[in-house]
Structure formats: structure tokens, C-alpha cells
Amino acid sequence: MRGPRVAYLAAAAVTVAGALTGRERWQWIGKPALMPLLAADVVRSGAALESADRRLLLGSLAAATVGDVLLIDPDDDRRLVAGASAFAVMQSGYSALWWRRGARPQVAVAAPRIAAWLGAGALLRVRAPRIALPLSAYGATLGTAAVLASDPGLAPGAEVVAGMALPSADPRSRLGLGALLFTLSDGLIVVRRLFARSTRARRISEGVILGTYAAAQYLLTDPRVHER
């Protein structure tokens, strides 16, 4: 395993542990380092990437870094909306990257995500109307990127189930799993915001959110996935 990605896993572990134990200082140490470490791996190991693809990937990781810092305090709605805006830039960059690779929407993958997006938007409008519109707008960018990443055409030769490639030794086959984890992580942000009331529930849910998020980014940003 390459050095920056080993360091990424260590930073992710510190970040998740900080969330689970309520140690915000640990998150300030680990979380801002996550995307720069993945960017360092792109710079170091992504020599085979086309220059436009490299710029899209690095720009997306830069936007994600901004979002990560803003969301260290996930209970502040203003920071939540600002963080979602930064991540919308990241998701748009990912979408452009996968579109350039030939990814196209597949009905079997898009339909359940559209249903989930509509459901989450309706729930937000009822329970948290002040943040419903910006988070729903972010959800559209998330869904677009997730649908494109799940196109099995990005992983030729992979076994396909329900329109999505099954993860295998080929890093490209793990894009769909990464997109699914990202969708799960962001869906849990809505659940946490609306339903987690106790300190324990909020800490546990934040730990799961960060763990699935870190795993998703690890899979989606592997330079080998984007080589042509």
C-alpha cells in the first residue's frame, strides 16, 4: 500500500475516534489532513492520468477539504449548509471526471437513488425547512455523481448485479461501492440531524458517517481507477 494512503487510513482512524469519543481536537488533527493525503497520492502515483482528469480530481479533493473543515461541527446548520455547498463542487467534479471516462446513467441504479432523494427532501421540508432546499440541491449533485460512478461500463469485465459492478481485484470495480458508501454517509447526516437527540446517539452516528465517508473517498480517488 502506498505511503499517502497508509497515512490517510491513520488520519481517518483518528477522525472517527474523535467523533465517537467527543474529542473535537482529534477531529481537528485528523480530518483536515484526509483529502490532502489523497491528493498527495494522486500527485505521486497518478502519472498516467490525463492532465484534465488530474485537475478535476485534485480540484474535487480541494473542495472536499473545505467541506471537511466546515463539518467538524455538524450541529451548526450554517456550517452544514456551507459544507454541503463545498461538497456539491466536489461531486460536480467527480461527475465530470466519470462522464469523461464514458460513464452514463443506468436506470437500475438511478431509480432507487431518485426515490431516496425525493424521500429525504420531503422529510427535510417537514422537519427542517430552513435547510431543506440547500441540502436537497446538494443531494442532486451527490445522486448524479453516484449514478455515474456506478456505471458498470467503467469496470469492463466485472461481474454486474442490479446494474452495478461487484468489487474485485480491479480497482475500477470498486467505484460503485464507493458511491454507495458515500450515499449512505450523506443519508445518515440527514438522519442524525433530524432524529439523533442524545449525546451518545449523535456521537455514534457521527462516527459511522465519518467512517463510511472515509471509506468512500478511499475507493473513489484511487488514481488507478482513473487511468485510461
Each residue's pLDDT tens digit, 110-124 = 999 899 999 999 999
Compute φ and ψ for 49, nearest 5 degrees.
-75, 145
Q: How many domains does the chain have?
A: 1
SS3 160: strand
The three cell numbers of residue 154 are 467503467
pLDDT in tens, 105-159: 988 889 998 999 999 999 999 999 999 999 999 999 999 999 999 999 999 888 8
The H-assigned helical ranges of 46-174 are 51-70, 77-100, 107-127, 129-149
Yes or no: say if 111 and 163 are a contact pair by the CB < 8 Å rule.
no
Cell of 133: 432546499
**Which residue range forms the structural domain that includes residue 7?**
3-226
**3-state DSSP call for residue 48?**
coil
Secondary structure percentages of the chain, helix, strand, coil, to 5? 80, 0, 20
Q: In this structure, is the dihedral angle defined by the CA atoms of residues 116, 117, 121 and 122, taken in order, positive or negative?
A: negative
Could you give the CA distance from residue 4 to residue 20 in angstroms, rounded to a whole number?
24
